[in-house]
Amino acid sequence: MKKLISLICVASLLLGLVGCDKQPGNTASNGEYQPPRKTSTYAIVVKDRNNQYMQSMISGFQAACDELGVNAISNGPDTPSAAEQVEIINDLIEKEVSVIAIAANDAEALSPSLQIAIDRGIKVVSLDSAVAASGRQLHIQQARPKKVGRVLIQAAAEIIEGSGKLAVLSSTENAPNQNDWIKWMKAEYDENPDKYAGIEWTEIVYGNDDSELSQAKTRELLEKYGEELKIIIAPTVVGMEAAAKVITETGSNTKLTGLGLPSQMSKYFTSDDGICPWMYLWNVIDAGYLAAYAAHALESGEIKGDPTDVFMAGRLGAKVVDDAEDGGYEVLLGDPIKVDKKNILIWESAY
Ligand code: RAM
């Protein structure tokens, strides 16, 4: 069968037909491949531009756009503000971009503007942090929120051997992704009272993905609960780095886990009994890369964005559209990756 498909491809190429080469482009009359003209502009809008995580996501998005032969532009506020994201969306609608890929600072607040974008024919996908189902065509889900939330509190319990106080250092109060993960952490905690009997869930504090504020919030937690605070879970890379810094500076015995960037966290993974024995993340670059391919599949008509639709996502291979927890549709990147002392050196040079 494979042989037959290859033969058809070769024959088609010889006849100057398109469609069998993996790269989008054209075959000129002399048979030579010509890259497509860059007529489409794909925009990625991040939560905030000062976050290294967002910059890595942009780089993956741009790499995919280069492969697809489309223009890539990126934007985002200086701080994680939904109101500023709305202004950016409105500007992109004016500019008549082909695609908006957005990491939402608020699920609902962005929806009306994004609906206008969709009505004007712009393909809209969210990534990293989902916009409400009504304001997008697809969400690029880095890992199932249920898995992320459960695995974080399971890790915390294991690290502190089932006993002591726990606190959560999050990003902003309205962040769709962090709130989703915290919801599942809490569900895991509440559904398993025996397992977590020795652990007291104290409170959630918000550092707004601002390093200074996140450090201040960590200091407050350490002062308030003292040595009884056995662990902080930070489901944000900014929070992770800030908490690690403060715990190290103060010499506290409080442990840390969460979602951290290997490049920022590797210096805290120097010994087995270090402040952060292990944490989780996913391939941030791939999240951006997948968003561009998913949007391209929508734009080219390869998919409509319905469940079970399948498209080719470049080096990531075939990806399938699935139902999302929020009632919309999504494309899953993979599972949360456990990052520990052994493998952090592999990841730290990438992101
Ligand atoms: C922060 C951002 C982002 C989140 C990561 C883990 O940098 O809030 O949305 O996915 O952490």
Q: What is the pLDDT of residues 86-130, one digit of tens each?
A: 999 999 999 999 999 999 999 999 999 999 999 999 999 999 999
In a domain, 21, yes or no: no
Instruction: Check pLDDT > 70 for residue 15.
Output: no
Contact assessment for residue 22 and residue 34, using Cβ atoms and an 8 Å cutoff: no
Q: Does residue 34 belong to any structural domain of this protein?
A: no
Q: Give me the residue label for tokens 């990003």.
A: 171
| pLDDT score at 34 | 52
CA of 31 to the centre of ligand 1 (A): 46
Distance of alpha carbon 11 from the chain centroid: 41
Residue nearest to atom 8 of ligand 1 (CA): 236
Q: Return the exposure string of 305-327: e unless at least 16 CB atoms fall within 10 Å of the residue's CB, then b.
A: beeebebebbebeebebeebebe
Q: Is 334 helix (H, G, I), strand (E, B) or coil?
A: coil
193 shares its domain with 260 = yes
CA–centroid distance, 145 to ligand 1, in Å, is 13
CB 195 within 8 A of CB 158: no
Q: Which pLDDT belongs to residue 198?
A: 98
Beta strands 310-312 and 318-323: pairing type? Answer: antiparallel
Distance of CA 27 from the midpoint of ligand 1 (Å): 42
Distance between CA atoms of residues 239 and 236, nearest Å: 5
Same domain for 195 and 124? no
> For atom 2 of ligand 1, which residue has the closest CA?
236
The answer to whether the beta carbons of residues 254 and 222 sit under 8 Å apart is yes
What is the rounded average pLDDT of the residues 278-298?
98
pLDDT at 285 over 70: yes
| Domain co-membership, 219 together with 121 | no
Verify that 137 and 187 share a domain, yes or no: no
Q: Tell me the C-alpha distance between 62 and 288, whole Å.
A: 8
Q: Which residues line ligand 1 (CB under 6 A)?
A: 47, 51, 53, 103, 128-129, 171, 177, 209, 236-238, 259
Q: How many domains would you assign to the chain?
A: 2
166 and 178, same domain (yes or no): yes
Same-domain check for residues 83 and 136: yes
What is the Cα–Cα distance from 15 to 18, expressed in whole angstroms?
9
* Structural domain containing residue 324: 41-142+284-334
How many C-beta atoms lie closer than 10 Å to residue 20's C-beta?
Answer: 14
Q: Do 236 and 163 share a structural domain?
A: yes
Claim to verify: residue 95 and residue 217 sit in the same structural domain = no
Element (H, E) at 123: strand 123-127
pLDDT at 29: 54
Band (pLDDT 50/70/90 cuts) for residue 143 is very high
In eight-state DSSP terms, residue 151 is H
Q: What is the pLDDT of residues 161-186, one digit of tens each?
A: 999 999 999 999 999 999 999 999 99
Q: Is residue 341 part of a domain?
A: no
H-type alpha helices, the chain: 2-14, 52-68, 82-94, 111-119, 145-159, 176-191, 211-225, 237-250, 262-265, 284-300, 344-348
| Residue that terminates a domain, selected from 242, 262, 281 | 281
Residue 217 has pLDDT above 70, yes or no: yes
Atom of ligand 1 nearest to the CA of 103: 9
**From ligand 1's centre to the CA of 87, what distance in Å?**
21
